[in-house]
A = this chain, B = another copy of it.
Amino acid sequence: MSPTDPDLDPAVHVLQGVRRQQPLVHCLTATVSMGLVADGLLAAGARPMMTETLEEAPTLTTLADALVINLGTLSTDAIAGIPATVAVAVRDARPWVLDPTAIGIAPVRTPLARTLLDSRPDVVRGNASEVLALAGEGRGGRGADSRAVPEHAEHAAQRIAARTGGAVAVSGPIDLVLSSTRRAQVERGTALLARVTGTGCLLAALTAACRAVESDDFTAALAATTWMSLAGEAAARRSTRPGSFRMHLLDALDEVGR
């Protein structure tokens, strides 16, 4: 690994915190990307937990240092388990991150995501289409695919941040991270991240891990986005093919900033 990248400087203390404190992150996340999310959290130094049933998820989240709710694939178990699990996180003042994956025309997740805003997620992480749909300004994307670009979602992101009091991260070729008082762009990363399933889900989970060790929402969200972008670049230097890129991405999450 090359020496630390200057763009990583503001995030280094967050990375180090995750590696030192090894936060336990409870993930109610898309089935398809559970493996990448769990392996990515472990590579970053955090620890995953992934139960989603109403019967067990609320109890288990009392053990967690942070929670991430991702609506991709949204099983019946998750539909039942998410509201009660978020309620426990809110009650216990655990930080939590909302990833409104593929909202738009989907009839359950779209109103669910909007309702969850009332529970004030510390960070919302989505692509531009999802952020627009969450703010009620767009129709949403096709699956996890985004037709909109982050700049177009800035106003929507600001409205969400005003409502939650937290941060919003809009993923895209240029990532946008903002809160009601701060704003940053991350012009790093690689288009290869979009050729591996679940990198957005992993970014949301990594954001929860960062937020577990850094109480400032904006700083945590920016650190996670930077971490993922630089890991993506490091992986892209080793392979431009999607199978080997995925492997190198996990390795790079472990290497960045050391």
Query: Is there contact, CB below 8 Å, between B55 and A32?
Result: no
For this chain, the copies found in one complex come to: 3
A32 to chain B, nearest CB (A): 4
Query: Is there contact, CB below 8 Å, between B197 and A243?
Result: no
Query: Is there contact, CB below 8 Å, between A48 and B197?
Result: yes
Greatest chain B CB density within 10 A among A30, A143, A251 is at A143
Q: List residues of chain B with CB within 8 A of the CB of A24.
A: 142-143, 145
Give per-residue flags for A220-244: 1 if the beta carbon is below 8 A from chain B beta carbons, else 0: 0000000000000000000101111
Interface status of A8 (Cβ within 8 A of chain B): no
Chain A contact residue count (CB 8 A cutoff)? 60
Of A37-45, A181-189, A207-215, the stretch lying at the interface with chain B is A37-45
Interface status of A195 (Cβ within 8 A of chain B): yes
Greatest chain B CB density within 10 A among A35, A105, A255 is at A35
Q: List residues of chain B with CB within 8 A of the CB of A43.
A: 195, 241-243
Once bound together, how far apart are the Cα atoms of A34 and B60, in whole Å? 21
Sampled A-B contacts (23; CB under 8 Å): A24-B143, A30-B50, A31-B50, A33-B38, A35-B198, A38-B197, A42-B197, A43-B242, A43-B243, A47-B143, A48-B143, A48-B197, A49-B142, A53-B74, A53-B75, A55-B108, A59-B107, A60-B102, A60-B106, A63-B143, A76-B77, A241-B251, A241-B255
